[in-house]
């Protein structure tokens, strides 16, 4: 099958191209927005195309002649919300009937409530705006796909790790820098999925005879704690497990005023009003916001300090999660069985890190 991969230069997209091309599973057509993004796809003698995931005209031209499309482009929350409509419009114009859209398990929140599944109602009041954008984007995807008669499948992976994943590279940097931490001993559940397992699910969506118009949670087979994830990573890097900070409590995250304003401005109804606001007012507002709460200068009379844990709201929520998101529906409807075990996925991920960053 001739399959367009939108976002083929990214972590997931580049691995899809590698897999499809090297295994001969499908004819992958990498689609990227700009020439500079062709570095990874062009390792192969492959027919890439340029197309903008935010412009239906250019995207339709890029999808021409394809039988299916996998959408794994990323963007800021506003772009994430715009992409599904552009995708479906372009697919319809190009005559592509099957579309696999990468949604995210974060539609349930990073700290998904116990018992969460595809049947759980979604809301748009998450504290992290990315999650709300993904909820709106997934809804828009199904709405647009239905309207245009497209067979749409949405996958909801959690923490996707593997070669070129930020979860691997960032964690390695935190571990090596002495800033990694675990909350309550790392007993929270890491809803991880090795990238090849996600691609296996994508492959099933491309071939499925039924199950269109629905979202599917997908993950690794094992139930893995954050301690499992961090300890295996530390062992792979030769970093002592004891160097990982143990946190009995987490800070309360209050969004700074500036971020709250930015989130409010990102709302669709605010965006629709913005063209009426004079440019000078926008500029003055931006200047005022950028000068709000300037960082304090460090005290010159302080001792050199040891590395401190770097706690983000996203990671704090993730480590509090005690729900293993099920992939029962994907198994029953699509026949999903994750082919790569967690330990092997981590081994391959850190083998890539060694490949990418080792000086020798």
Partner 1 sequence: MQSNASWRKFSLTKARPPGISQTIVTTQTAIPVALIGCGAVSQAFYLPTLRALSATGEFAVHSLIDPSASARAPLAEAFPRAGQFTTLADAEMPAGGLAIVATPPRFHAGQTLESFARGWHVLCEKPMASASAECEKMIAAAESAQRLLAVGLYKRFFPSSRYLKDLIAGGQLGVLRSYSIVEGGPFKWPAATPSFFNKAQTPGGVLLDIGVHVLDLLVWWAGEPESLDYADDAMGGLETNARATLTHRGGAQGMIRLSRDWSTANEYRFEFEHGLVSWKVNDANNLTVQLAGTSAALRAQLVTPLRSNLNGAEPQPLATNPQSFIAQLQNVAAAIRGTQPLLIPGAEGIRSLRLIETCYREREVLDQPWFTPVESNRAQELAVQS
Question: Which lies closer to partner 1 via its Cβ, residue 44 or residue 130?
Answer: 44
Q: How far is the CB of 355 from partner 1 (least distance, A)?
A: 6
Binding window for partner 1 (CB under 8 A); candidates: 15-23, 105-113, 220-228, 307-315: 15-23
Q: Which CB atom, from 163 or from 219, has the smaller least distance to partner 1?
A: 163
Per CB under 8 A, 61 contacts partner 1 = no
Query: Is 104 a binder of partner 1 (CB under 8 A)?
Result: no
Residue 237 is a binding residue for partner 1 (CB under 8 A): no
Closest-CA residue to 98 (of 5, 212, 195): 212
Please tell me the distance from the alpha carbon of residue 185 to that of residue 318, in angstroms, as a whole number.
14
Choosing from 8, 29, 40, 232, the residue that interacts with partner 1 (CB under 8 A) is: 40
The set of residues, in sequence order, having a beta carbon less than 8 Å from that of 297 and lying 6+ positions away, is: none
**Which of 1, 35, 106, 122 is the binder for partner 1 (CB under 8 A)?**
35
Tokens at 73, concatenated:
């482009």
DSSP codes of every residue in 332-354: HHH-----S-HHHHHHHHHHHHH
Q: Binding of partner 1 at residue 357 (CB under 8 A)?
A: yes
Region of residue 215 (left: phi > 0; alpha: psi -120 to 50; beta: else) = beta
* Whole-angstrom distance, CA of residue 314 vs CA of residue 294: 23
Under rule CB under 8 A, which residues in 281-340 are in contact with partner 1? none
Q: Which is nearer to partner 1, 132 or 197 (CB)?
A: 197
Question: Counting contacts by CB under 8 A, is residue 45 touching partner 1?
Answer: yes
Site for partner 1 in 134-173 (CB under 8 A): 162-164
What's the rounded Cα separation, in Å, for the pair 193 and 211? 21
What backbone phi and psi angles, to 5 degrees, belong to 28? -80, 135
Closest to 245 measured CA to CA, from 171, 182, 312, 177: 182
Q: How far is the CB of 62 from partner 1 (least distance, A)?
A: 13
Distance CA 182, CA 62 (A): 44
Q: Among 1, 27, 42, 170, which residue sits at the site for partner 1 (rule: CB under 8 A)?
A: 42
With contacts defined by CB under 8 A, name the span among 221-229, 252-260, 261-269, 344-352 that binds partner 1.
344-352
Alpha helices in 66-128 (DSSP H): 77-94
- Give the range of 39-47, 69-77, 118-126, 282-290 binding partner 1 by CB under 8 A: 39-47
The token pair that represents 83 in the structure block: 């992409």
Contact 137, 147 (CB under 8 A): no
Quote the DSSP letter at residue 274: G
Q: Which of 5, 18, 215, 336 binds partner 1 (CB under 8 A)?
A: 18
User: Does residue 74 bind partner 1 (CB under 8 A)?
Assistant: no
Work out the angle between the directed axes of helices 342-357 and 226-237 (0-180°, nearest 10): 40
Q: Which of 1, 50, 122, 208 binds partner 1 (CB under 8 A)?
A: 50
Asked if 274 interacts with partner 1 (CB under 8 A), we say: no
Closest contact distance (angstroms) between CB of 149 and partner 1 is 34
Give least dist CB 138 to partner 1, A: 28
Closest Cα to residue 30, out of 60, 11, 12, 50?
A: 50
Helix (H) or strand (E) holding 169: helix 166-176
25 near partner 1, judged by CB under 8 A: no
Query: Does 235 participate in binding partner 1 (rule CB under 8 A)?
Result: no
Q: Given the complex with partner 1, which of 259 and 344 has the nearer CB atom?
A: 344
Size of the site for partner 1 (CB under 8 A): 33
In this complex, which beta carbon is closest to partner 1, that of residue 46 or of residue 265? 46
Exposed / middle / buried, residue 158 (Cβ in 10 Å: 0-12, 13-18, 19+): buried
Residues that bind partner 1 (CB under 8 A): 18-19, 21-24, 35-46, 48, 50, 162-164, 348-349, 351-352, 354-357, 359-360
């Amino acid at each position: 099958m001739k399959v367009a991969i939108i976002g083929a230069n990214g972590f997931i997209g580049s691995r899809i191209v590698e897999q499809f091309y090297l295994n001969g599973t499908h004819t992958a057509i990498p689609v990227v927005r700009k020439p500079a993004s062709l570095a990874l796809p062009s390792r192969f003698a492959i027919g890439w195309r340029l197309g903008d995931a935010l412009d239906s005209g250019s995207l339709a031209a890029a999808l021409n002649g394809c039988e299916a499309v996998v959408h794994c482009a990323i963007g800021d929350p506003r772009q994430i919300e715009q992409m599904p409509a552009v995708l479906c419009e372009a697919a319809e114009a190009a005559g592509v009937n099957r579309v696999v859209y990468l949604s995210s398990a974060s539609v349930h929140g990073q700290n998904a409530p116990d018992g969460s599944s595809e049947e759980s109602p979604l809301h748009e009041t998450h504290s992290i705006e990315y999650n709300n954008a993904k909820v709106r984007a997934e809804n828009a995807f199904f709405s647009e796909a239905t309207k245009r008669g497209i067979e749409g499948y949405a996958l909801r992976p959690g923490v996707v790790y593997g070669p070129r994943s930020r979860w691997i590279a960032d964690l390695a940097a935190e571990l090596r820098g002495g800033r990694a931490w675990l909350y309550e001993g790392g007993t929270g559940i890491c809803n991880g999925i090795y990238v090849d397992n996600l691609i296996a699910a994508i492959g099933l969506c491309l071939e499925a005879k039924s199950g269109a118009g629905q979202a599917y949670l997908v993950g690794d087979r094992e139930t893995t704690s954050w301690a499992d994830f961090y300890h295996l990573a530390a062992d792979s890097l030769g970093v002592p497990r004891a160097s990982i900070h143990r946190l009995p409590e987490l800070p309360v995250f209050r969004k700074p005023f500036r971020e709250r304003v930015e989130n409010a401005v990102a709302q669709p109804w605010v965006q629709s009003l913005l063209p009426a606001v004079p440019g000078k007012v926008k500029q003055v507002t931006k200047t005022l916001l950028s000068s709000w709460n300037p960082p304090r200068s460090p005290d010159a009379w302080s001792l050199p300090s040891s590395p401190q844990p770097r706690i983000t709201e996203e990671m704090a929520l993730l480590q509090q999660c005690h729900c293993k998101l099920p992939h029962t529906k994907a198994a029953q409807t699509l026949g999903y069985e994750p082919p790569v075990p967690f330990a092997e996925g981590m081994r391959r991920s850190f083998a890539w890190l060694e490949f990418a960053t080792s000086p020798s």
